[in-house]
Amino acid sequence: MGIMTKRVLLARPRGYCAGVDRAVETVERALELYGAPIYVRKQIVHNKHVVQTLERKGAIFVEENDEVPEGATVIFSAHGVAPEVHEQARQRNLHAIDATCPLVTKVHQEARRYARDEYDILLIGHEGHEEVVGTSGEAPEHVTLVDGPDSVDQVEVRDPSKVVWLSQTTLSVDETLETVDRLKAKFPGLQSPPSDDICYATQNRQQVVKQIAPDCDVLLVIGSRNSSNSVRLREVALEAGARASYLIDFASEIDDGWLTGASTVGLTSGASVPEDLIEQALGHLAARGYADVEEITTVQERQTFALPREIKRDLAARNT
């Protein structure tokens, strides 16, 4: 009987996107500049390990502004906030720093513009997700949430000749196309956003997973359960032909049973996942015979975002 070859296909791009990198660095710099504690409204990014690490450094995570002492520093997460959250912060005299990803801000601007022009906005996204709450909050009376292809039937608009779709940044590309097709069948005058709302990082991570999935007996996605883009990666893996796929926060959650009979193990991570969690997973797999690692790269990412204005200003002032 031959010995089964064991290998890992490591997806690239994976892990941190430019928006997450910026948001995490915003909290780190704020801790340096203003000292602990720094309050953060909601999880800065949807990753357990990142949140725990920042907590140890002195960040305090809260759900709402009213949990932040008057006058303290509060950081808004990468997922964005509704305008009323900025207003509450002003009323409580908070020193607010906005770490909303610029690609989420772009969708907020689109929502404001179409609302001003009296459009009905069909926002494709997951009900209750923080980003959707924030974007809807820009124009609540104009926005209708469309949570996937199956909810298209219930959608009503005021004027079918003035309707546009926008989306959450971290959806499945293919499922969103399906939702849009169904919406177009119902509203032939439906307009599309001026550019993709699903961000480059979400698209790139899905693209490489699609490429490796057919070769994978099992494809492991590192990411937290409340991370939309990570959850989508597991779904994309299964749709694209991975025999099995699991979403895990930490390498220690890898069940040896998942690897039984598996020759090729795929590995990737969501946009909020630091690279050390991938290193740990590779170490865990190597200890079980999967030491041969091939990295499959579909595209080189070069996107970066400047830190929020107030952080840049205060860093510059400190350094002079």
The distance from CA 42 to its chain's CA centroid, rounded to whole angstroms, is: 14
- Three-state secondary-structure class, residue 268: strand
Nearest position to ligand SF4, beta carbon: 19
Torsion angle, alpha carbons of 120, 122, 126, 127, to 10: 30
Per 3-state DSSP, what percentage of the chain is helix, strand, and coil (rounded to 5)?
Answer: 45, 20, 40
Q: How many CA atoms lie within 13 A of 58 on its CB side?
A: 13
| Binding site residues, ligand SF4, CB under 6 A | 17-20, 78, 101, 103-104, 169-170, 199, 201-202, 229, 271
Using the minimum distance from each CB to ligand SF4, give the nearer residue, 169 or 176. Answer: 169
- Three-state secondary-structure class, residue 57: helix
Using the minimum distance from each CB to ligand SF4, give the nearer residue, 201 or 248. Answer: 201
Q: Which of 32, 131, 239, 301 is catalytic?
A: 131
Amino acid sitting at position 256: D
138 catalytic? Reply is: no
Ligand-binding site membership of 161 (annotated): no
Ligand-binding site membership of 216 (annotated): no
215: left (phi over 0), alpha (psi -120 to 50) or beta: alpha
Using the minimum distance from each CB to ligand SF4, give the nearer residue, 182 or 210. Answer: 210
Torsion angle, alpha carbons of 201, 203, 206, 207, to 10: -110
Alpha carbons 207 and 273: distance in angstroms, whole number: 18
Alpha carbons 228 and 234: distance in angstroms, whole number: 10
Ligand-binding site membership of 86 (annotated): no
Q: Is the dihedral of CA 8, 304, 63, 106 positive or negative?
A: negative
71: left (phi over 0), alpha (psi -120 to 50) or beta: left
Using the minimum distance from each CB to ligand SF4, give the nearer residue, 125 or 182. Answer: 125
List, by residue number, the catalytic residues.
131
Binding residues for [4Fe-4S] cluster: 17, 101, 199
